[in-house]
């Protein structure tokens, strides 16, 4: 390869123009993830062969399979074998074991407690994985999809995070990208990305509120748009509130009305049923829900009004957060030019109604709320690699501070301060001859340390002995353009440079990161083709299992000939699955689906006549229709 020589400063932007690799925008969501690319200011979602842009943020760790399975296929495994599957890992990003104790009842995975504190890990399919590794699997899948569609390597990405993500969750996201072999061009806040997608699309100007209710997080941001500048004035939200909670409330309601105790293993299927019911209630006024667990099948009617009553307290919390953001920005609802809805959960009619009521106008929704964040991220990825006139000016979402005497918090950077930012605060010693000082960095709005998130503990050692109050210890907080915090401390008076050690409370240590990177290299990641083959096999296996269990119950619905045709198609699929050719696995799977279709239809008929296993049938039905 020839080396190009340029005048200093005249170097063209690397990767500009027809480069070998591409930069993409990624929406790494709690429930769903997407990848998009922008070319000449036009963003586009990268879809699979079937036109599906969504990769469910679900990862299955199958016993005996080295490669985990990600996305739609993993979702199907979720209902049957929940112990092999991790979903909603985003909610655990940057969290400690203690943090998730309160979520314990809601988590279907077992928390792996090795007694070391630190970041939470999960026991799944006989392995121990961290949420960072789970997220890395999702990112790897998105990257592979992008590479397949674009036909070239993808090594850089703009990844979106909830505006309300704290520092450890942001750092964990960046670590996940590193594990997936992606350089993070920028972490962009989801509402800002959404505004970018809307703003660039329409040349909008004025004040915009972005209401973003996803699967597991809620954000609301207020932005000022002016001639290509996207200035965030204020942001707020709740990093642990989303559509998952709607599902949970509905599932709890169903279990309560049924009145039976439920085994932990049955929780996930009920949650999945609740989610489907929630989605149907967007258009339907009422739905029938079938539950089948503990050896008993029951049917329940749920009306939209019932559902609204259940979720109203959660929706009210989002509305309160939105009011605080308006107040923080010193803006009234009448001054807004528009309201943008983001996230699948904004399809819930009650959410739309309450948002419209608060802001006094119908929200904009003409860009698919599931896609808008990824589209904005893609635009920013292009802007960063090829240059652009747009400018994103974001803020610190949650105040950053230090623990002081008596467990109180001294705020160093208040929330909604524009980033990048650097602020210093001076502290002193309180004992004669004190030679070290413990510094505890926290994030949050509350007065007391234990009510906020603990981000890091520092020890500033080597302070030269002085009388109490004589030392001048300057602690500097620096937040970069990604919203990531660095803290340094220095004894200023004597000019002594003291050593500062940073220990992120819930992040991955450099050693852990190094270990994971090494492991991923040593295992020589399966290439795209093997991974797709593995997925096709898993898909085929699921179909066989689903058919077998249906045949065990309703085998009498078939004539001997029909049964023979199914058995033959099944045998052919088994043969294909033992081979290495993905296309023949898919073809054999399709053939078996076709052979089984009349059977599924007959089962549905029978199901109407006698109360049958709702979950089983609907799963088979979904599978067959998906083919």
Partner 1 sequence: MEDAICAGCKSLQPPGQIDHFARLGLPRGFAVDGAMLERHYFAAQRRFHPDRFAGRGAREKNFSLQHATLINEAYETLRDPLSRARYLLETAGRPLPGDDGRSIADPELLMEAMEWREALEEAETPEQVAGIAARLATETRAVEARIGDAFAGHNIDGATRETLRLSYLVKLGIELKRRGAPRLARI
**Catalytic-role residue among 67, 190, 535, 539:** 190
**Catalytic-role residue among 99, 147, 166, 212:** 212
Closer CB to partner 1, 7 or 256, in the complex: 7
Residues with Cβ < 8 Å from 463, sequence gap 6 or more? Answer: 429, 434, 435, 436, 437, 471, 473, 491, 496, 498
Closer CB to partner 1, 148 or 493, in the complex: 493
**Catalytic-role residue among 79, 90, 403, 482:** 90
The one-character DSSP state at 526 is -
Closest separation between CB of residue 421 and partner 1, Å? 6
482 has catalytic annotation = no
301 has catalytic annotation = no
Closest separation between CB of residue 330 and partner 1, Å? 5
The one-character DSSP state at 9 is T
Tell me the DSSP string of 252-288: HHHHHHHT----GGGHHHHHHHHHHHHHHTTT-SEEE
Distance CA 451, CA 275 (A): 32
Closer CB to partner 1, 313 or 330, in the complex: 330
Phi-psi category of residue 294: left, alpha or beta, with phi > 0 → left and psi -120 to 50 → alpha: left
Handedness of CA 462, 464, 468, 471 (dihedral sign): negative
278 has catalytic annotation = no
- Of 325, 340, 319, the closest CA to residue 193 belongs to 340
Here the tokens at position 340 are 């943008």
99 has catalytic annotation = no
Closer CB to partner 1, 417 or 464, in the complex: 417
Closer CB to partner 1, 126 or 420, in the complex: 420
Closer CB to partner 1, 226 or 260, in the complex: 226
Distance CA 388, CA 109 (A): 44
Q: Residue 162 half-sphere exposure, CB side, CA atoms within 13 Å?
A: 30
Closest separation between CB of residue 409 and partner 1, Å? 18
Tell me the three-class secondary structure of 23-42, residue by residue.
EEEEEECCCEEEEEEEECCE
Q: Are 439 and 475 in contact (CB under 8 A)?
A: yes
Closest separation between CB of residue 230 and partner 1, Å? 11
Closest separation between CB of residue 144 and partner 1, Å? 24
Here the tokens at position 396 are 């610190």
- Of 356, 257, 355, 351, the closest CA to residue 312 belongs to 351
Closer CB to partner 1, 135 or 385, in the complex: 385
Closest separation between CB of residue 228 and partner 1, Å? 8
Provide the edge-to-edge strand list for the sheet that holds 391-393: 338-342, 206-213, 218-226, 229-238, 391-393
Closest separation between CB of residue 235 and partner 1, Å? 16
Closer CB to partner 1, 265 or 420, in the complex: 420
Residues that bind partner 1 (CB under 8 A): 7-11, 13-16, 185-186, 226-227, 229, 231, 327, 330, 383-385, 387, 389, 391-393, 417-422, 478, 480-481
Here the tokens at position 589 are 């799977």
Closest separation between CB of residue 480 and partner 1, Å? 6
Neighbours of 212 (CB within 10 A): 30
Distance CA 383, CA 391 (A): 9
Q: Are 222 and 191 in contact (CB under 8 A)?
A: no
Known catalytic residues are: 27, 90, 190, 212
């Amino acid at each position: 390869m020839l080396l190009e020589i340029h005048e200093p400063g005249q170097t063209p932007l690397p990767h500009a123009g027809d480069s070998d690799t591409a930069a993409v925008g990624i929406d790494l969501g709690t429930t769903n993830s997407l990848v998009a690319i922008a070319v000449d200011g036009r963003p586009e979602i990268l879809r699979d062969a079937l036109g599906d842009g969504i990769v469910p943020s679900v990862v299955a760790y199958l016993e005996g399979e080295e490669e985990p399975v990600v996305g739609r296929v993993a979702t199907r495994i979720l209902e049957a074998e929940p112990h092999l599957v991790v979903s909603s890992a985003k909610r655990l990003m940057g969290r400690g074991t203690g943090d998730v104790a309160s979520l314990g009842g809601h988590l279907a995975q077992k928390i792996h407690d090795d007694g070391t504190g630190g970041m939470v890990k999960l026991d799944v399919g006989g392995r121990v994985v961290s949420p960072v590794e789970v997220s890395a699997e999702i990112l790897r899948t998105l990257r592979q999809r992008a590479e397949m569609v674009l036909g070239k390597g993808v090594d850089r990405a703009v990844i979106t995070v909830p505006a309300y993500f704290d520092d450890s969750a942001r750092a964990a996201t960046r670590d996940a990208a590193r594990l997936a072999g992606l350089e993070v061009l920028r972490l962009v806040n989801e509402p800002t990305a959404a505004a970018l997608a809307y703003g660039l699309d329409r040349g909008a100007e004025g004040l915009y509120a972005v209401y973003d209710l996803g699967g597991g997080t809620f954000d609301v941001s207020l932005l000022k748009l002016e001639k290509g500048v996207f200035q965030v004035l204020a942001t707020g939200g709740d990093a642990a509130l989303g559509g998952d909670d709607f599902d949970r409330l509905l599932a709890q309601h169903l279990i309560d009305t049924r009145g039976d105790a439920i085994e932990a293993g049955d929780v996930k299927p009920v949650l999945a049923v609740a989610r489907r019911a929630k989605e149907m209630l967007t258009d339907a006024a009422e739905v029938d829900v079938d539950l089948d667990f503990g050896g008993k099948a029951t049917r329940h009617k749920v009306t939209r009004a019932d559902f609204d009553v259940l979720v109203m307290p959660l929706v009210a919390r989002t509305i309160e957060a939105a009011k605080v953001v308006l107040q923080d920005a010193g803006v009234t609802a009448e001054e807004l030019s528009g309201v943008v809805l983001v996230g699948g959960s904004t399809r819930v009619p009650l959410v739309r109604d309450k948002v419209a009521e608060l802001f006094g106008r119908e929200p904009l929704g003409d860009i698919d709320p599931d896609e808008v964040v990824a589209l904005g991220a893609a635009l920013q990825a292009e802007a960063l690699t090829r240059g652009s006139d747009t400018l994103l000016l974001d803020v610190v979402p949650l105040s950053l501070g230090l623990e002081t005497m008596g467990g109180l918090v001294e705020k160093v950077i208040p929330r909604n301060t524009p980033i990048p930012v650097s602020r210093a605060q001076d502290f002193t010693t309180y004992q004669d001859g004190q030679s070290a000082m413990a510094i505890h960095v926290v994030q949050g709005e509350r007065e007391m340390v234990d009510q906020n998130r603990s981000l890091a503990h520092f020890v500033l050692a080597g302070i030269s002995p002085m009388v109490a109050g004589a030392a001048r210890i300057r602690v500097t907080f620096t937040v970069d353009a990604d919203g990531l915090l660095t803290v340094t401390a220095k004894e200023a008076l004597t000019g002594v440079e003291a050593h500062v050690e940073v220990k992120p409370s819930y992040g991955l240590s450099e050693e852990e990161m190094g270990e994971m990177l090494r492991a991923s290299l040593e295992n020589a990641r399966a290439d795209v083709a093997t991974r797709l083959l593995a997925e096709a096999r898993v898909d085929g296996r699921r179909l066989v299992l689903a058919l077998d269990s249906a045949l065990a119950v309703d085998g009498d619905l078939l004539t001997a000939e029909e049964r023979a045709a199914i058995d033959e198609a099944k045998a052919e699929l088994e043969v294909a699955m033992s081979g290495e050719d993905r296309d023949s696995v898919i073809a054999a799977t399709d053939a078996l689906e076709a052979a089984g279709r009349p059977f599924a239809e007959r089962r549905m008929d029978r199901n109407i006549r006698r109360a049958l296993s709702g979950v089983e049938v609907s799963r088979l039905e979904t599978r067959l229709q998906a083919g």
